[in-house]
Chains A and B, each alone.
Chain A
Amino acid sequence: MIAVLVLFSTFGQAAAQSSVRPPSDAVTVAPMEPTGGNVPGDVLGNTSDSVIWHDLRKGAKGDVTIPDPNAGILIQSPGEDWRNIRNVDLSKVRQDQKTVGVSQPAEAVNWITLIVNWVMINASLILLGVLGLLAVFFAIRGRIKIKGGRSGRVMPRFSLVERIVHWFVAILFVLLAVTGLILMFGRAGLIPYIGADTFGPIASAAMQGHNLFGPLFIPAILALFLVFLRNNFFRLIDLIWIFKGGGLLGGHASSGRYNFGEKSWFWWATLCGILLCGSGVAMLFPDQAIAIVQHFYPDVPGGRFVLQWANLVHAVFAIGFIAFAFGHVYLGTIGMEGALEGMTRGVVDENWAKEHHDIWYKEHQATVVTDGVKAEIEAAAGHV
């Protein structure tokens, strides 16, 4: 028994002597600024470990002799913030939107990170909000019927080329939107319900699908722009259309082949398409993207800065694109009688044309026929 006590006592003293805890009377020395060639905290050890790690976590930069100056940063602080944001439960972050700002000194917070944080938190609200607004609008206004009903006469509206390009973009858009939203919100929105083990293959599949279909979107959106550019320039009549609320609030709003809403959608889709394709390519080929950016702007810091921007632009405009698309799909399907067939069969009812695109209707009145098949063939041939 005595021997055992002696043994414990000896080990206890040894353990006390080798403890990493500072003695109670220890004085913490203010951290030294890292200078050329020096290790933060310096070799004398007069800076505490916690201060060293604090500085590193905040992105303290040392000197390196290799070409990449960023190699001197042991922990890239904004990147670490981004990882934290990606990994946390967004509902908890939403409760305390200042998580990043509160827990870290203000100077260490990268403003891009804050914006990304805001986007991640609010993007889902924006999308759900748009869906909610559409649901409310549908509940109040109902399906917009053709005034006077169907006439039984139709006219060509969209050519075969226009329809093929439209549906090609639409199919790719849906594939990219679904896979992209899984990648963006999967951690916060799916893991709590299906678990990380199930989410793993879904995320892997979404990433592969997104990367494969993404490049196809570039020629698709370019074709969409070229094919639909004609008739999509804004005109004075669009201003009047805006003042009349597009006829949704009652009354008649005149328009040509496309109204203000459709033109806005065209230009918004073009802008989003360009930015999404550009930022997507930058993320697929980061080295080349960084080299190009630094070629034109040599002062731009290293790679992560460019990729953070690409990530941010991609997320923001994807959400904007999808949100606007909800409205487009709504009006093209359940929201308005007679609209969808223009893009499926290529023809629209005469009364629908009179009501929604009266100026265009007057210009193409001669194409109105009772034979729907004939009109479809005319539309397919491009006589629109």
Chain B
Amino acid sequence: MTFLEFTEGPLWYIALAVFLAGVVWRFVGILMLGKPTDRSVARHSSASGAIKAILLHSVPHGGNLPRTIYHFVVGYAFHLGLFALLLFAAPHVEFIEERLLGVSWTSMPRWAFIIVAEVTFAGLILLWIRRATDPVMRKISDWDDHIGTWLLFLAMLTGCFALQASNDVLRAIHMLSVEVLMIYFPFSRLMHAFTFVLSRSYTGATYGRRGVTP
């Protein structure tokens, strides 16, 4: 078995299993924490508060834009770029069809892929620099934040290195870095990709019930 066959075979399935099981375990764990009983009379709907929180916290509001413009622009550039690369890069579409879903969709043309990759890299680097240099961000960050960022950067970098798609070793290294990231993912703050819905809706429901816009 070659290195590539190993990373695209057994290791891929192990990483996928750990990722899925870990995400479900974390998700169920959070849900099982439950919610303390609120004996007060509800002034407004908890559900609408939850939905409002999810939507409102996705954009700067309440005069926050000037203060959060950097995080807003760079954060969206990185996250949207990452999802576009993940779901619409031609090699990924092909891989998803072959190894995951059995169906494919239209992938990005190469020029779009390059532009999106540039934007995504710039976004990730700029977010990490802010985390490392801003005094407040530095205080609230720990190794988990940095490791998650570096693993993601490594996965993107090895993907970029393998762009020529002409060498098995480069492809295998990219697969390996992605699999390490997938295994680390459920046990880190990278879980915010899923849990942001829970945290925002919890806050929104609490505030909404009291009649306050979250």
A positions within 8 Å CB-CB of B: 160, 163-164, 167-168, 171-172, 200-201, 204-209, 212-213, 215-216, 344-346, 373, 376-377, 380
25 example contacts (A-B, Cβ-Cβ < 8 A) are as follows: A160-B133, A163-B129, A163-B133, A164-B133, A167-B129, A167-B132, A168-B122, A168-B129, A204-B164, A205-B161, A205-B162, A208-B162, A208-B163, A209-B160, A212-B117, A213-B121, A216-B118, A216-B121, A344-B133, A345-B133, A345-B135, A346-B133, A377-B136, A380-B133, A380-B135
Residues of B in contact (CB 8 Å), total: 24
CB atoms of A377 and B135 under 8 A apart: yes
B106 at the A interface (CB under 8 A): no
> Among the listed B118, B136, B167, which residue makes an inter-chain contact with A201, where contact means beta carbons less than 8 Å apart?
B167
CA distance A344 to B104 in the complex (A): 46
Whether B96 sits at the interface, judged by CB under 8 Å, is no
B64 beta carbon closer than 8 Å to chain A: no
* Contact of A215 with B118 in the complex, beta carbons under 8 Å: yes
CB-contact partner of A208 in B121, B125, B160, under 8 A: B160
B126 contacts chain A at the CB level, 8 A cutoff: yes
B161 touches A373 (CB 8 A): no
- Residues in chain A near residue B164, CB distance under 8 A: 204, 207-208
From the candidates B114, B122, B130, B167, name the one contacting A200 in the complex (CB within 8 A): B167
Which of chain B's residues have a CB closer than 8 A to the CB of A160? Answer: 130, 133-134
- Which residues of chain B have C-beta atoms less than 8 A from A215's C-beta? 118
Are the C-beta atoms of A201 and B163 separated by less than 8 Å?
no
CB-based nearest B residue for A172 = B125
How far, in whole Å, are A126 and B160 apart by their CA atoms in the complex? Answer: 31
The interface residues of chain A lying within 8 Å CB-to-CB of B169 are 201
CA A160 to CA B132, docked complex, whole Å: 11
User: For chain B residues 157-204, which have a beta carbon within 8 Å of chain A?
Assistant: 157, 160-164, 166-167, 169-170
Contacting residue for A168 out of B118, B126, B134, CB 8 A: B126
Closest residue of chain A to B119, judged by CB? A216
- Residues of B contacting A216 in the complex (Cβ-Cβ under 8 angstroms): 118, 121-122
Asked if A212 and B118 sit within 8 Å, CB to CB, the answer is: yes
Complex contact B135–A208 (CB within 8 A): no
Give the residue of A209, A213, A373 whose beta carbon is less than 8 angstroms from that of B135. A373
A164 with B170: CB separation less than 8 A: no
Which among A164, A200, A380 has the highest number of chain B CB atoms within 10 Å? A164
Which B residues are CB-close (under 8 A) to A346?
A: 133, 135
Selected contact of A164 from candidates B117, B130, B157, B162, CB within 8 Å:
B130
Name B72-131 residues within 8 Å CB distance of A.
114, 117-118, 121-122, 125-126, 129-130
From B114, B161, B169, residue with most partner A Cβ within 10 Å: B161
Closest to A204 in B: B164
The CA-CA distance from A28 to B205 in the complex, in Å, is 98
| Chain A neighbourhood of B117, CB < 8 A | 212
Give complex CA distance A164, B127 in Å.
Answer: 9
Return the chain B residue nearest A161 by Cβ.
Answer: B70
By the criterion CB–CB under 8 Å, are A212 and B170 in contact? no
Q: How far is the CB of A227 from chain B (nearest CB, A)?
A: 14
Residue of A160, A172, A207, A377 contacting most chain B CB atoms (<10 Å): A160
Residues of B within 8 A of A206 (CB): 161
Task: Report Cα–Cα, A213/B114, bound state, in Å.
Answer: 10
Q: Which residue of the partner chain A has the closest CB to B130?
A: A164
